[in-house]
Structure formats: structure tokens, C-alpha cells
Structure 1
Amino acid sequence: METMPDWLLVILRAIGLLITVFAILKWLGKRQLSELTLFEYIIGIVLGSIAAEITISPNQNMTNGLIGMAVWFIVPFIVILLSMKSHAIRNITQGKGTVFIKDGKVLEDNLKKEKYTADELLEKLRRKSLFNTADVEFAVLETDGSLSVLPKKDKQPITLSDLGVKQSTKEPQTVLMDGEILNEPLATAGRSVAWLETELDKLGVSIENVFLGQVDAMGQLTVDLYDDKLTVPSPQEKPLLLAEMKKCQADLELFALQTDNTEAKKMFEKNSKRLQSVIDKATSVLQN
């Protein structure tokens, strides 16, 4: 009986083992490479090594190789199940985060423990747009090697909640696509066809020329046209609101200068300063 050529055996083994390793790793869980724990990383390397050895060695006993792969699959799978129920086992297999900065103070001993230099810490902070350790309230090195950072309160970006503004975090609704109105998303956004046509008139474009149109959480319409050479003006609701706020603040200052009533002057000056404070905080939100 004619034996199978070595090259054909290698191809068949490679295909079979590729499917096997893929199925095993998929069964163990979905993670990005950067999120793998040391334990999972070692499992991947060993399974790949066993598969490679069986593939390129036609004389290697395939059964023994598959038994080895099965052991490297079953044992880690059991460990993963146990780690889901036990914090202690999880700490052994996955490790735990290491605090690098606490209350704005760099913990040098923890840096040495993780074999990190000051330069490496500063590099990771710069990737978070933080250039001064004094601006960091808390920083921890996660088990996947990433650095989680909490800036100090005065270094955190202003949010709408800081301004006392309640806003929905709903996803934008695509209300126009390929020159056609999508009625269901338009209704979900709480807008009508008449409103959409009015907004398009403000922008000076017709429905047929719109490739993609979306309504954001603040109810503003943005469009992308088929003709990339045409420039569409940005939505003006927020800039107009900012302009009105500035006008009101200027009016309050003017009223304070014009009145001879002491109490009224104090009231106008006080509210002018309060409104200016709101404007300073809201400018980054309301400017396009």
C-alpha cells in the first residue's frame, strides 16, 4: 500500500491542528492579545508549540500530541472555572493591580516591584495626556499591563453634570441614508419629516444630495454629502446659545454701571459674575 507523501501529511496535519488550536482558544474565552493574563499567554504558546512540533514532524505520534494538547486545554479550563468562583485563585492565575500613584504621591517601592522605571511611568502618563505626576490622584498598573489613571478633580475635563445639565446619553440616530429618509430612527429621535426638511433648508442642501444624516443626543442634525467638495455649515444651536449667554452677561454688567441703586448694582454684579462662571465652564461644551 502506497504511503502518503510527507508534504501532504504536513499539510493535512497543519489544517487539522489549526482548526483544533483555534477551537480550543476560542473555547477558553475571547480576549485581545493585550488583555491576556500571563497564565493564558503561556497556554497559547505551549499549544502553538505542540501543534507546530506535530505538524513538521511526520514521524511524531499524532495521538500523543493530541493527548498533550488535551491536557493543556483541560487543566487551564478547570483553573479558569475555579478562578471565577475564588478570589484567591484569581489572584494567583491573573494577578492583581499594583498602585503606582496614590494621593498624588509616586510609590517608588511598587515601581521597583514591577520592574518599572520613572521614565516608563511618565511615558504611560503622557499617553493619558497627563504630563505631571502632581496632577494624578490615583494610578494603578492593571494585570494586562495597562495603566488606569484618575486625575485630580481640578484636572478632570468639565462634564455636563458639572454644569448641572441633564442630558441623554442615547446614541445618535441615522435619519438619512443614501438620499432617503429613515422614518423609524427619525421618530426615535423625536423629530418629524417637516423638522428634518427645515434643518436641511437651513444648511442649504436637499435630501437627494445627502449620503448620511444623523441627529445627535442634543437634537442637532449633521450631514455628509455625496459631493465631498461641498462644505456644509456646522449646526448653530449651541453657538447661538453661547452667544445669547454672553449677551446676557454683558447686559448685566451694563445694568450695574447704569443704575444708582446700591442694592440693584450689587444684584447685577453678583449675577453677572455667576453667569460668567457658567459661560467659562460651558464654552468647551457649546463651541463646535
Structure 2
Amino acid sequence: MPLWLEVTLRTLSAVGILFIMTKILGKRQISQLSLFEYITGISIGNIAAYISLDTDAKWYLGLLAMSVWVLVSVAMEYATLKSKKMRDIVDGKGTVLVEKGAILEKNMWKERVTLDEFMEKMRSKSIQSLADVEFAVMEANGDITFLLKKEQQPLTAAALGWAVQPERQPQNIVMDGIVIEDALQHAGFDRVWLNKQLAAKGVKLEEVYLAQVDDAGVVTIQTGERSIP
């Protein structure tokens, strides 16, 4: 077999295997990683590259190594689900950076967070003044969450004593000109109702890029050029 063809087949196989193993590891591997998951992701990627390019070695040894990494990672995730102590070891714990409006300098040093980085994170959360912050925590994933002082928190219906009706998530009933039957039925409507809505707005089904229906039965349609309320 020509070398270029062998490398191509190895690469395609590695991509397929990597995709399957990533699905096994779960969505956290592509969102918020713990330190151990970060190490696992890098290691599995390196092994996949080894399978693709190291034609002098036995490729199945790379597959074995990837399988061991995945098994260990799944076992660690299961252990963290069952044990708080294991979660603290593997995922780490949050660190308080601001308490009762005062920065805890010792904890800032511990987490190696500079004032510039802290202020930048504040601005990214639309907080301009430290005087508005009551509490701040650096989470295990490295993000910083803030709790504003009572007088700086936005008004809510509960704070005003208003009773509001619960809302459901708007349903995507048409995408790329195709009706999403499950979503349409979940919203409590059918094709006849949808056709009437499209006719009333002067839009053909094949022209619809996205159509959503909210809890009140109001349809919003987005074509390739405009939005139709």
C-alpha cells in the first residue's frame, strides 16, 4: 500500500475513533474542563496523531492507549459523581476573592489573579465599580462569579411582589425550510395551523430560514433576508 494512502486511512480511522471516544467522555470534555479532563484531552489528541503518522509503529498500540485513557477518565468522572471528596481533589474548589465588599489579597495571590485581570473580568460582567460587589468567587473552572450588593441588584418580579405566569422555551418549528414535527406538536399545533400562519404573513415554507412560536402562540419568521414578526 502506498505510504500516502496508509497515512490517509490511518488519519480517517483516528478521527472516527477520536469522535466516538469523545462522545463516550461526554459534553463536559468540550465545555468546562477539569484539570484531569484537560490532560486527558491533550493526551488522547497526541495519541491520535501518533496513530496517523507513525507508520513504523503498530497502530493498534495507539488504540489501546487511547482506550485506557478513556476508561480511566470515565472511571474518574464516575468517582467524582459519587464522592464530594473526590470532586474536591479532581475538580478543585472555588476560592473567595471578595467577601463583604473587600478583596482578599491572600486569595488573589493564591490563585495568581492580578488586579488587572480581576477588573477585566468585572467589566466583562458589566460591573464597573468594585464598590458594587458584595461577593466574588473564582470557580473551579477558572471563571469568576460576582454577587452584587442588594442596592445594585436588578429589580425582579419577586422583589416587586408581582405574580407572573411561567414561560416555556420558544419552539423552533421550521428550520431551513423543513418543518420540525416534534417541536410543532410539543407547542400544541399542527401543519394546518402552521400553513395558515405562513399564508397570513405571505411567506412560502421553502422561504423560511427559521420560524419560532412562543408560549402565547405568536410566530416569528426569519427568511434569508428579513425578520417577519
TM-score, length-normalised on structure 2? 0.76
Unaligned runs of 5+ in 1: 188-192, 194-205, 233-288
CA distance in structure 2 between the aligned counterparts of 1:184 and 1:82, rounded to whole angstroms = 37
CA distance in structure 2 between the aligned counterparts of 1:123 and 1:25, rounded to whole angstroms = 33
CA distance in structure 2 between the aligned counterparts of 1:154 and 1:173, rounded to whole angstroms = 32
Q: Which residue of 1 aligns with 2:111?
A: 114
Residues 168 and 214 of structure 2 are in contact (CA less than 8 Å); yes or no, is this contact kept in structure 1? no
The structural deviation recorded for 1:19 is 1.3
Residues 39 and 93 of structure 1 are in contact (CA less than 8 Å); yes or no, is this contact kept in structure 2? yes
The residue correspondences of 1:53-68 to structure 2 (distance < 5 A) are: 53-68=50-65
Residues 173 and 186 of structure 1 are in contact (CA less than 8 Å); yes or no, is this contact kept in structure 2? no
Residues 100 and 106 of structure 1 are in contact (CA less than 8 Å); yes or no, is this contact kept in structure 2? yes
Does 2:96 align with 1:99? yes
Question: Alignment length, in residue pairs?
Answer: 205
CA distance in structure 2 between the aligned counterparts of 1:167 and 1:160, rounded to whole angstroms = 7
CA distance in structure 1 between the aligned counterparts of 2:12 and 2:105, rounded to whole angstroms = 50
CA 1:87 to 1:183, structure 2 compared with 1: closer, same or farther past 3 Å? closer
Does 2:18 align with 1:25? no
The structural deviation recorded for 1:120 is 0.5
Q: Percent identity between the aligned chains?
A: 39
CA distance in structure 2 between the aligned counterparts of 1:22 and 1:8, rounded to whole angstroms = 21
Does 2:200 align with 1:207? yes
Give the alignment partner of residue 123 of structure 1, picking from 115, 120, 136. 120
Residues 172 and 214 of structure 1 are in contact (CA less than 8 Å); yes or no, is this contact kept in structure 2? no
Residues 135 and 147 of structure 2 are in contact (CA less than 8 Å); yes or no, is this contact kept in structure 1? yes
CA distance in structure 2 between the aligned counterparts of 1:75 and 1:225, rounded to whole angstroms = 46
Secondary structure of the equivalent of 1:112? helix
CA distance in structure 2 between the aligned counterparts of 1:229 and 1:41, rounded to whole angstroms = 41
Q: Which residue of 1 aligns with 2:68?
A: 71
Unaligned runs of 5+ in 2: 178-183, 194-198
CA distance in structure 2 between the aligned counterparts of 1:91 and 1:223, rounded to whole angstroms = 46
CA 1:169 to 1:32, structure 2 compared with 1: closer, same or farther past 3 Å? farther
CA distance in structure 1 between the aligned counterparts of 2:75 and 2:226, rounded to whole angstroms = 56
Q: Which moved more, 1:80-89 or 1:29-38?
A: 29-38
CA 1:9 to 1:213, structure 2 compared with 1: closer, same or farther past 3 Å? closer
The structural deviation recorded for 1:183 is 11
Q: Which residue of 2 aligns with 1:282?
A: none
> Given residue 96 of structure 2, which amino acid in structure 1 is its aligned partner?
V
CA distance in structure 2 between the aligned counterparts of 1:85 and 1:59, rounded to whole angstroms = 43
CA 1:122 to 1:66, structure 2 compared with 1: closer, same or farther past 3 Å? same
CA distance in structure 2 between the aligned counterparts of 1:97 and 1:223, rounded to whole angstroms = 42
CA distance in structure 1 between the aligned counterparts of 2:118 and 2:221, rounded to whole angstroms = 41
Q: Which residue of 2 aligns with 1:162?
A: 159
TM-score, length-normalised on structure 1? 0.61
Alpha-carbon deviations, 1:41-94, whole Å to 9, x = none?
A: 110110110110121111111122222222212222212211111111111111
> Given residue 106 of structure 2, which amino acid in structure 1 is its aligned partner?
D
CA 1:68 to 1:102, structure 2 compared with 1: closer, same or farther past 3 Å? same
The residue correspondences of 1:79-98 to structure 2 (distance < 5 A) are: 79-98=76-95
Alpha-carbon deviations, 1:164-205, whole Å to 9, x = none?
A: 11101313767x999xxx999589xxxxx9xxxxxxxxxxxx
> Given residue 143 of structure 1, which amino acid in structure 2 is its aligned partner?
A
Give the alignment partner of residue 151 of structure 1, picking from 148, 152, 164. 148
CA distance in structure 1 between the aligned counterparts of 2:41 and 2:168, rounded to whole angstroms = 37
